[in-house]
Structure 1
């Protein structure tokens, strides 16, 4: 009986311990909530528009790191990420990627693919993977989290895992038994085209190094129109010695175009399939090369490969690898990566019982920490805009500034949680203007390229916003000089508007206001008056008869009114229509309201916009959250005396336009902007006008939000009555004192403190309307 009793007690205790274990186990850390598959689709059909969905990468990344190691399923087309979830085969794993961009993409260099059996030197295509080295994969085997990716390649029976450091990456392959196992590297491959020249050498029996030259002639960014011109240097090592190895070389005909139209063609597949094989060569160079190493493997044998990447030199690529991944311990590299991501994501901590909500939030925060990425090496060297090697001083050189997108939410978010990145970015843009001889601040910078992509002068917005927020670790006089030159080259000065363009006129009017504000701060009275006048340029193209902005020709005549009126996309607008673009006067909302006929009329127009917006928030003619120009619009109700509508619509958008799934982004991620909007809106603070330190308040989605700010300060947002139904702010206190404003100043946040909000299911139409 005693044994039975003791067994029963032990069983009961064991059951209780098992039942209690989930309650006492440590709560998930932030990086564990990241789902890199959110937005990882370029699917046009599902998006309902040619822009596609999120276009994010699912692979391994490091916070603002130079290297991203990600699977690629496609080369060519408007597929900047090189990956789309619905594709059923993978062509390789690239060490450089762009994430969340529209236009024809770039990078996707140093494409590594493990294979078995007969070797292919061409990639094959999605519709016929057997014709090349690509492989089908088991979708259920595909896993990703911050800093890690894995998948099972079905055709080769190889498990592939990836992780990265800042400037280096590591792949771990688990092979089947075989005599003809292989790792092959397509050195010519590039997401939006091909590199135009490659060089490779065998350094020792475990190491190769080389470079890949990528020019506009090879397509890439904007199919060459974005002026991409960079060289990727690599230093790669294999855990298994190089015994049977070689290079394949494709005889590219003289004069043959290397842009995406060619590399997407069947002729390209046939040409690359007929490559010449050169075995046991110690070095090689050419227009289209690949490298392979062959070996026998036992069942489940693990083979590793690691590579350092540099945009400066092979020697720097070697140093990057040796400093960041100096052994073959994959788990240690992954652990360091996880620590880095947890530290980065700890800048904003949210509390909620809703696990799905935390997956969406921390993935969004993660996406805001991919770009602007490192461009300088571990030794501080970087390739300048003059094609010369430079040394960083008090900043780290960064690249990929998607200005037109990110000045709205992404950059304001980083001023709060990573002011050092803002400082680095401004230094990078200023030094580029200096070194290149261009003398102005580029609007969409890509690896030193002045791509000219999109419109406006967004770098001026970032400059003013940083200056107003005391982020000033850069040469201010040079910054002013280059901002002035930017405004001179691109602005409203000549006509008082931009002929043919509503979008450009309004965007320039805003950054001309930024110039006026900066001039005022610097005591430049004449310049302030000049730019203040130009900031009113938007008034010159408003047509009271049609109650809409309209494009004018050079003689001042309105262009013919289209059949569909202000809902006509492209009528004087870039990726918008006049109804959407017309709200972009963030610096002079009162002036805009007067043009529209007063506050009531403006509210009526806003109500009309949201009432006609589809609840899936996919691309549409009204509130088109899939694209940036309207991202400030839900917050305008705060400025028009109806803050409860801002509270309602921001929460509704957060709930409907963002999901924890592949289709969880309704439009292109646009280098962090789509996610940054969510981060700020979901914690209840978002600017309308970067450069103005006012941030609009709305109802957070979380029980508590903790912002860890520079200098060790902490700002906390506590929410009483949090629930999906309680959409509206009833009352607020700031540092235990009643707070009745529907906005908060940046300086009040960065000083630290506590904002406490009480929510309800019914709006309090008296709160937040008095000031």
Structure 2
């Protein structure tokens, strides 16, 4: 064979091998399931505030576990909390396998990670020093560790408290019990090992920590948590993990997660985008969690055990969750959403107030607003069934008889009486902070005002929502009262300055006032550039205050372009929640999430399309920095799921969705009814972010929104995409989605 023939043959052979390799790679990618794309370590290093955690749990289940580290950049595990009692705040018990010569350092010893595997249903890590492998999987109220120590020498399990009052103790040669008090809630533990304990040491006389020694190369440790009793914890463990088959429990957990992830299927997009999407979807199942323990549950709202066959859901930071997370699950699992709302109603009946942040440990009156109203009005408008009459009574009581002040529960104060009489919550000048009108306003942290601007804005939204419930609850006479209160947001809009602005008790605007640089003196976690856009229930009225749609559009443009006015570290010293900045737009905090969609209301939908794609592509990468702010257990990732699908719910209580710019060529939602709703983006690409035209079920759609009813019927939304905007599509005033105080949500059912 001549050389050139040999070379040609070699090139053909290499080409065939390369084609085979490419084909194999494609086949491997095509074989991936939605669950395979989930990576719980995404967002594991908080850019400014809290990181996400690689939680192992079942969807909306009581038991949640992760390896406690500083963040995902930390290579040492301190311990595993045996349950996350409240997202990111409260934990019960601690557990860690340890190998080595026992000494006093064992009580605080950490394990260095050589490698780890993380998924929603399974976690594994290898000890860099000893090769020990620790694995974990889960059931609903019980968990399962499997430890491979590699040999029989110097093998220990460390079991203790997480800082609360209580104790842990050995029950016999292969079991433990424990109790720990977490913010007043008593948490009970029952645990077993498959091997005998050969020696036991205690850290102190109070049995806060135990060190159990084993003389076998491997040990399995299974346990259950209860809020009722140790006996109940034992019963749950025997029910959920009766044997020692770790693989079977892992397989069972995987199947449950497969079902949830498979509810949305995608075509097109990159692997990185699918990782971001499905990881975000997984995050939205962290809360609320059902703490009913097979026929009974303990409620901190009346400190009683209740017999019930219904779930009792807790752990909802409603200020964060009502915006996107709960509306997402209103689509994916409406029956469960009804049960979550019923749990809130039960808490009201048990404790006398509708909860703010409904934790397992009781109501935590965090943040501002009465946003259970926003959530419930939205659910009612979308056809969910619950006890509207009782819900309405609780929401009305919160609004008219309870305090509006942040971080406070209970009846109205003199400051609240001022709000009810004057239609705004007055703000304190710096020299006035402290106890005013008999109310200590700086209770939660020193030097803070009463957040009067954001409270007025958010309670206006919430009162509008209450108005939408009045007729269904049987109180039509109340509707006008709450609609009037819904307009009070305008009392803190300074038309001269073009911003929401603090107003003092006399009704005068407070000067000087920096619309950019704030702590919490006047607003919550953000500044006036964000809170300018809060009245999503009355965008028509808001735009009129701003001088009309054209001026409002220019103001919205400037939001994304405005500078910080000072160095970033000085800005974040005062605004730590304002992360993911684009101009003064804050991608990392929930009150901003509807803002990019407001161009749909201003005759410029193409700008919504441009902004959404840029924001998703920029801030939601598939790595440890992939969450620009606090995730809040679904609060942020609900926005990601909606936006990557191509639409978003802007106004809670009006059952319509604003169209954005889909990430994927095709996304299909399998609805509980058996129908499917599909979004197709034809000619979609990184550059082709703009909608040229649209059809819904084959009929032309010339407006940038559709109804919840359209979605429930199933069908297909087809968007023709291009690299150039169609500035005429959806641009007429009549094309805008509905948002005004007088809007009747029933019109869009």
Aligned twin of 1:434: 349
**1:562-711 alignment, distance < 5 Å:** 562=513, 564-612=514-562, 618=580, 622-711=584-673
**1:15-34 alignment, distance < 5 Å:** 20-24=23-27, 27-34=31-38
Unpaired runs of 5+ in structure 2? 1-13, 405-418, 428-451, 569-577, 736-749
Q: Which one of the candidate residues 363, 367, 391 is aligned to 2:307?
A: 391
CA distance in 1 between partners of 2:421 and 2:264 (Å): 45
Q: Which one of the candidate residues 176, 180, 199 is aligned to 1:208?
A: 176
Matched, 1:734 2:685: no
Aligned twin of 1:107: 91
CA distance in 2 between partners of 1:99 and 1:734 (Å): 42
Shift in CA distance, 15/732, structure 1 to aligned 2, threshold 3 Å: closer
CA distance in 1 between partners of 2:362 and 2:155 (Å): 40
Matched, 1:118 2:73: no
Unpaired runs of 5+ in structure 1? 1-10, 74-82, 124-131, 215-227, 250-275, 277-285
Aligned twin of 1:308: 224
Shift in CA distance, 527/619, structure 1 to aligned 2, threshold 3 Å: same
Matched, 1:293 2:212: yes
SS at match of 1:318: helix
Aligned twin of 1:134: 110
CA distance in 2 between partners of 1:674 and 1:95 (Å): 25
1:709 is displaced (CA, Å) by 1.3
Matched, 1:356 2:272: yes
Aligned twin of 1:478: 390
1:382 touches 1:391 (CA, 8 Å); kept in 2? no
Matched, 1:722 2:721: no
Matched, 1:167 2:79: no
1:121 touches 1:290 (CA, 8 Å); kept in 2? no
CA distance in 2 between partners of 1:681 and 1:117 (Å): 53
CA distance in 2 between partners of 1:760 and 1:498 (Å): 47
Aligned twin of 2:189: 234
2:560 touches 2:582 (CA, 8 Å); kept in 1? no
**1:455-466 alignment, distance < 5 Å:** 455-466=368-379
1:556 is displaced (CA, Å) by 2.2
Shift in CA distance, 520/577, structure 1 to aligned 2, threshold 3 Å: same
CA distance in 2 between partners of 1:766 and 1:533 (Å): 36
Aligned twin of 2:366: 453
2:561 touches 2:582 (CA, 8 Å); kept in 1? no
1:567 touches 1:579 (CA, 8 Å); kept in 2? no
TM-superposition CA deviations, 1:659-691 (whole Å, max 9, x none)? 110011110101211111010011111011111
2:174 touches 2:193 (CA, 8 Å); kept in 1? yes
1:640 is displaced (CA, Å) by 0.7
Matched, 1:375 2:291: yes
SS at match of 2:420: coil
Aligned twin of 2:415: none
1:464 is displaced (CA, Å) by 0.7
Q: Which one of the candidate residues 747, 751, 763 is aligned to 2:713?
A: 751
CA distance in 2 between partners of 1:618 and 1:402 (Å): 21
SS at match of 1:672: helix
Aligned twin of 1:77: none
* Greater mean alpha carbon deviation, residues 20-29 or residues 710-719: 20-29
1:697 is displaced (CA, Å) by 0.5
1:243 is displaced (CA, Å) by 3.1
SS at match of 1:441: coil
Aligned twin of 1:158: 132
1:150 touches 1:161 (CA, 8 Å); kept in 2? yes
CA distance in 2 between partners of 1:231 and 1:550 (Å): 45
1:465 touches 1:693 (CA, 8 Å); kept in 2? yes
1:445 touches 1:451 (CA, 8 Å); kept in 2? yes
Matched, 1:96 2:83: yes
SS at match of 2:586: coil
Aligned twin of 1:56: 52
1:351 touches 1:705 (CA, 8 Å); kept in 2? yes
1:613 is displaced (CA, Å) by 7.0
1:697 touches 1:743 (CA, 8 Å); kept in 2? yes
Matched, 1:324 2:240: yes
TM-superposition CA deviations, 1:443-469 (whole Å, max 9, x none)? 112114121111111111111111111
**1:257-276 alignment, distance < 5 Å:** 276=205
Aligned twin of 1:177: 151
1:340 is displaced (CA, Å) by 0.7
SS at match of 2:93: coil
Over aligned residue pairs, what C-alpha RMSD do you find? 2.5
Matched, 1:346 2:262: yes
SS at match of 1:401: coil
